[in-house]
Structures are given as structure tokens and as C-alpha cells.
Amino acid sequence: METKQAESELSVIKKIMEDSRRINIDNGIHYIFWGILVTVALLINYIMILTKTSMNYIGLMWLILMVTGMFIDIFIGRNQERKSRVKTFTGKLLGSLWFATSISMFMFGFVGSVLKAYNPVFICPIISTVLGISYFTSGAIQQLKWLQNISLGWWAGAVILFIFPSVHTLLIFGIMMICFQIIPGIILYKKSNEETVVSEL
């Protein structure tokens, strides 16, 4: 084999591997699904507080919605995996990241508050901080700077919610969910659809 041929082979391999790394694996469905579900739960929670419903019922409402959401999400995930044309290591990494995030949120949202480790009003800023970490990492893994920058929104929101704790924390967190979770999810979904159309042309 000649040197030029070897160089050419290496550059082809390098190009293919670089292109493969750019394959979009996140179609935003999970962001949209959880964004809507949590926003709805926050609104219900807000109304329940205004109507002075017992904390036990609020906890139960969260537990029912989150567990139902988890089962629906597993179903969506399995369906997507079965239909996906490609499985990437990046996808696996993202899956692990969001799984770990869910466990952490469960710890802070349920375990910590049930054990009265802190005032429940601080659940939102704590979850917001966790989401900041996950968005920052997720954006870095996918090499999406804009997604990484969303974490700044989560962290800034967490600071505000830590400084001004009130019943309106739930509404502010709901707005943050729409801005930093649902909208990025829609952007990822549109981007993923555009890429699918291009690859099918």
C-alpha cells in the first residue's frame, strides 16, 4: 500500500467518524413531555395551596403524576428505540445522564421533603439547580452551545427562587419549565424532523 493511499484512507475514516458524531439523537420529545407534565402539576399544586388543600394530597398528586409520567416515558423511550435507525454512544450517555437526573429530582422532591429535611418551598430552586447541571452537560455532550446556555437560565432562576421564597415560587418555576424545558424541546424536535426530511431526500 502506498503512503498516499494510506493517507487518503485515514482521512476518509476520520471524516466518517466526525460526521457520525454529529448525528442528532435527541428529538426533544422527552423534554416536551416532562415540561408539560411538570407545568400542569405545578399549576395544580398552586391551586391546591390557594384552596388550602392538605399537604398529603399535594404529595399524592405529585406521586401519581410523576409515576404515571415515568411509565409513559418508558413506553415512549422503548417505542423510539425500536423505531430508531441508529443507536449512538452519545444517546446512551444522555440516557444515563437524564436517568441520574430523575433519581436526583426524586430524592430532592420526595425523599427530602417527606423526611422534612428542608422547607418544601425550596424544592423548586433545588430541582432548578439539578436541571442546570443536566442541561449544561447535555449541551456539552451534543455539542449544542445554545442548549448548554439554557443551564444559565435554570441557575439564575434558582438564585431568584432561593432569595424570594413564596407561594408564587410554583408559578415562576412553571414559567421556567415552559421557557427552559418545553421551548428547547420544541426546538430540538423541529431540528430532528428537519434532519430526518433531509436524510430522506
Partner 1 sequence: MNFDYQEIDDVIHSRIRTSIMALLVSLEEAEFNFIKEKVNATDGNLSVHLKKLEEAGYVSVKKLFVDRKPVSKYKVSNKGYKAFENYIKQLESIVKKNN
Q: Which residues bind partner 1 (CB under 8 A)?
A: 1-3, 6-7, 9-10, 12-13, 16-17, 19-21, 23, 82-83, 85-89, 91-92, 199
CA gap 187, 24 in Å, rounded: 13
Nearest approach, Cβ of residue 99 and partner 1 (Å) = 17
Give the separation between CA 192 and CA 184, rounded to whole angstroms.
12
Kindly report the number of other CB atoms within 10 A of residue 138's CB atom.
Answer: 23
The C-alpha cell at 21 is 458524531
Rounded least distance, CB 194 to partner 1, Å: 16
Q: Which is nearer to partner 1, 13 or 63 (CB)?
A: 13
Work out how close the CB of 77 gets to partner 1 at its nearest, in angstroms, rounded to a whole number. 15
Nearer to partner 1, 52 or 82 (CB): 82
Burial of 160 per CB tally in 10 Å (0-12, 13-18, 19+): middle
Nearer to partner 1, 19 or 52 (CB): 19
Q: How far is the CB of 50 from partner 1 (least distance, A)?
A: 47
Identify the helix (H) or strand (E) that includes residue 97: helix 89-106
